[in-house]
Structure 1
Amino acid sequence: MIDRVITSGTFSLDGGTWDVDNNVWLVGDAREVVVIDAAHDAAAIAERVGGRGVRAIVCTHAHNDHINAARDLAERTGAPIRLHPADQVLWEQVYGPEVAYEPLGDGDKLTVGGIALQVLHTPGHAPGAICLYAPDLGALFSGDTLFKGGPGATGRSYSSFETIIDSIKERLLTLPPETVVHTGHGDSTSIGAEAPHLEEWIARGH
């Protein structure tokens, strides 16, 4: 089961602020879910969770628009927050050092409702950016690493165009082409649909 809540708020970094709509993904079954990217509105996310247990609140990276409801949702549900520690500097811009999370690493596996989610470390948009791959569902939850139309933005602090291209080439384009890509913003796509476009980006990035 894959469910989505779209929440609205702002993204702030490097002194700028932008209005954004975020995709919050819920993966699991009728008993339990993992929440991917608790953005903006913990009440709306909790309403969609309903009576199900929350196994974890997974942050694909620590830009404020992907984590700003994580503490509130964790307090409501008792679920741990999970994040790759390479994003500590971004995390502390929102929460300081006092809000704890459990570290995620490349190759870690989360299981929820009988569904296995594999952690792929895909730095570039942020140092600790990850994607979650669910082979049983034929789905990838890409955060802001890959969108319909190309890679995530790399024009701000702690980001790197060359690094995100390497991550996509080495970690994502190797997945089956029919894999559905559920993104952090906007419409879903597939690995097969993006691969030809991304080859152009790869050629330009090297």
Structure 2
Amino acid sequence: MIDRVITSGTFSLDGGTWDVDNNVWLIGDAREVIVVDAAHDAAPIAERVGGRSVRSIVCTHAHNDHISAAGELAALTGAPIRLHPADQVLWEEVYGPEVTYEPLADDEKLTVGGITLQVLHTPGHAPGAVCLYAPDLGAVFSGDTLFKGGPGATGRSYSSFDTIIESIKDRLLTLPPETVVHAGHGESTSIGAEAADLEEWIRRGH
């Protein structure tokens, strides 16, 4: 089962602030879920979780708009927060040492409701960016690494266009083309649809 909650707030980095809508993904079954990217407001996420157990709160990366509700949701549910440690510097900008997380490892397997999620480290948008591949669901949860229409933004601190292109080519475009891409913002797409545009992304550069 895949469920989505859309929350709204702001993204701030390098002295700028932008209004954004974020996709919060819930993966699991009628008994338990994993929450992907607890963004902006814990209340609507907790409401959608309902009486189910939260196995973990997984952060695809540590930009503030993707983690700002993680601490409150963890306090409400007792679930651990999971994050790739390469994003420690971004995490500290939001939480400092007061809120801790358990480190995610590349190729780690997470299970929830009989579903297996494979952690794919896909740096570029952020150093610790990850995607979660669910072969049982024919889906990948891409955070801000891959969107409908191209790769995530790389014009800010701790990001790299060359690195995100390498991540997409090596870790995502190797997935079956029919794999549905559920991103951190906007509409879903597929691996096949985005693979067709790869050379155009490279040509355009940033």
TM-score by length of 2: 0.98
Cα RMSD of the aligned pairs, angstroms, is: 0.8
Q: What is the Cα deviation at residue 97 of structure 1?
A: 1.8
Partner of 2:133: 133
Distance 1:203 1:134 in 2: 31
Partner of 2:64: 64
Superposition pairs of residues 51-200 of structure 1, within 5 angstroms: 51-200=51-200
Q: Percent same amino acid among aligned pairs?
A: 87
Distance 2:174 2:202 in 1: 14
SS of 1:192's equivalent? Answer: helix
Partner of 2:41: 41
Q: What is the Cα deviation at residue 99 of structure 1?
A: 1.1
Q: What is the Cα deviation at residue 198 of structure 1?
A: 1.6
Amino acid at match of 2:32: E
Partner of 2:14: 14
SS of 1:166's equivalent? Answer: helix
Distance 1:203 1:106 in 2: 29
Amino acid at match of 1:73: L
Amino acid at match of 1:181: V
Distance 1:54 1:98 in 2: 21
Q: What is the Cα deviation at residue 204 of structure 1?
A: 5.3
Amino acid at match of 2:113: G
Number of corresponding residues: 205
Structure 2: where are the runs of 5+ without partners?
none
Partner of 2:5: 5
Q: Deviations over 1:128-167 (max 9, x none)?
A: 0000000010000000000000000000000000000000
Distance 2:49 2:188 in 1: 21
Q: After TM superposition, what 4+ stretches of structure 1 lie above 6 angstroms from structure 2? A: none
Larger CA deviation: 118-127 vs 93-102: 93-102
Distance 1:194 1:100 in 2: 35
Distance 1:98 1:49 in 2: 25
Q: What is the Cα deviation at residue 203 of structure 1?
A: 5.0
Distance 1:131 1:61 in 2: 9
Q: Deviations over 1:47-88 (max 9, x none)?
A: 000000000000000000000000000000000000000000
Distance 2:200 2:104 in 1: 31
Q: Deviations over 1:67-121 (max 9, x none)?
A: 0000000000000000000000000000002211000010101000000000000
TM-score by length of 1: 0.98
Amino acid at match of 1:99: V
SS of 2:196's equivalent? Answer: helix
Structure 1: where are the runs of 5+ without partners?
none
SS of 2:24's equivalent? Answer: strand
SS of 2:197's equivalent? Answer: helix
Larger CA deviation: 145-154 vs 194-203: 194-203
Amino acid at match of 1:111: T
